[in-house]
Chain A
Amino acid sequence: MIDFVQNTIDGVMIGSSYGLLALGFTLIFGVMRRLNLSYGPSIMVGAYLGTLLYVQLGAAPVAVAVATVLGAALAGIYVERLCFAPMAAGAGVASMVSSFAIWMQLEQAAILILPRHTYPFPPLATGVPLALGPFLLRIDHLIMLAAALGLSLGVQLMLYRSRFGLALRAIIGNPVAAHLVGIDVKIAVLCAFAVASAIGGIAGYLVLATDQQVTPMFGMWATFKGLIAMMIGGLGSIPGAILGGLVLGVVEAHSQWHFGPQVRDLIAYLLLFACLVLRPGGILGETPARSLVDRGKA
Chain B
Amino acid sequence: MDDYLISVLSHIGIISFIALSAYLLLLTGEISFGQQAFFAIGAYAAGIATAMWGWPLAAGLAWGAATGAAAAALVGVPTLRLHGLYFAIATLAFAEMVRLLFELFRYQIVVVGELVGPNGADGFRGIRYIFENDVGPLQFLLLIYGLLAATLAGFLLLDRARLGVSFRMIGEDEVLAEINGIAVTRHRILAACLAGAIAGIGGGLYAHLTTYVEPRIFDVMLGVHSLAYGLIGGLGTAFGPLLGVLIDIGLLESIRMFAGYRMIIFGGLVALLLIVCPRGLLDEIMVHRIREAWRNICQARPRMTGTRARQ
Classify the interface of chain B: helix, strand, loop or mixed. helix
Assuming A266-B101, A270-B97, A273-B93, is B278 touching A87 (CB within 8 A)?
yes
Complex contacts, A265 vs chain B, CB 8 Å? 96, 100
Q: Is the CB of B31 within 8 A of A107?
A: no
Tally A residues with Cβ within 8 Å of B: 49
> Which 5 A-B pairs give the minimum distances between C-beta atoms?
A105-B267, A101-B270, A108-B263, A94-B278, A91-B278
Whether B97 pairs with A276 at a CB distance below 8 angstroms is no
Q: Which residues of B contact A (CB under 8 A)?
A: 26, 31, 78-79, 81-86, 88-90, 93-94, 96-97, 100-101, 103-104, 121, 173-175, 220, 224, 227-228, 231-232, 260-264, 266-272, 274-275, 278-279
CB within 8 Å of B: which A186-220 residues? 220
B278 contacts A269, C-beta separation under 8 Å: no
Q: Pull 30 A–B residue pairs with CB atoms less than 8 Å apart, ordered by A.
A: A82-B272, A86-B275, A87-B274, A91-B274, A93-B26, A93-B231, A94-B231, A94-B279, A95-B274, A96-B31, A101-B228, A101-B270, A102-B271, A108-B262, A108-B263, A224-B220, A265-B100, A269-B100, A270-B93, A272-B89, A272-B93, A273-B93, A273-B97, A276-B82, A280-B81, A288-B83, A288-B86, A292-B175, A295-B175, A298-B84
A117 at the interface (CB under 8 A from B): no
Contacts of B278 in A (CB 8 A): 87-88, 91, 94
Inter-subunit contact B267/A103 (CB<8 Å): yes
Given contacts A273-B93, A277-B90, A280-B81, contact A93 B267 (CB under 8 A): no
Closest to A272 in B: B93
Any B CB within 8 A of the CB of A290: yes
Contacts A93-B231, A104-B267 hold; do A112 and B89 have CB atoms under 8 A apart? no
Of listed A86, A93, A290, residue having the most chain B CB within 10 A:
A93
With a cutoff of 8 Å between Cβ atoms, the chain B residues found around residue A220 in the complex are 220
Residue in A93, A104, A273, A280 whose CB lies within 8 Å of B94: A273
A296 at interface, CB cutoff 8 A: yes
A208, chain B: closest CB distance, angstroms? 22
Chain A residue numbers with a CB within 8 Å of B220 are: 220, 224
Q: Among the interface residues B266, B269, B274, which one has the most CB atoms of the partner chain A within 10 A?
A: B274
Complex Cα distance, B263 from A103, in Å, reads: 9
A74 within 8 A of B: no
Interface set, chain A 71-125, CB cutoff 8 A to B: 82-83, 86-88, 91-98, 100-109, 112
Whole-angstrom CA separation of A227 from B264 in the bound complex: 24
B266 and A231 within 8 A (CB): no
A23 at the interface (CB under 8 A from B): no
**Residue contact A227 to B274, C-beta cutoff 8 Å:** no
CB pair B263 A104 closer than 8 Å: yes
Measured between C-beta atoms, what is the minimum distance from A202 to chain B in Å? 24
Report B-chain residues with C-beta under 8 Å of the C-beta of A82: 271-272, 275
For B272, the closest partner residue in chain A by CB is: A82
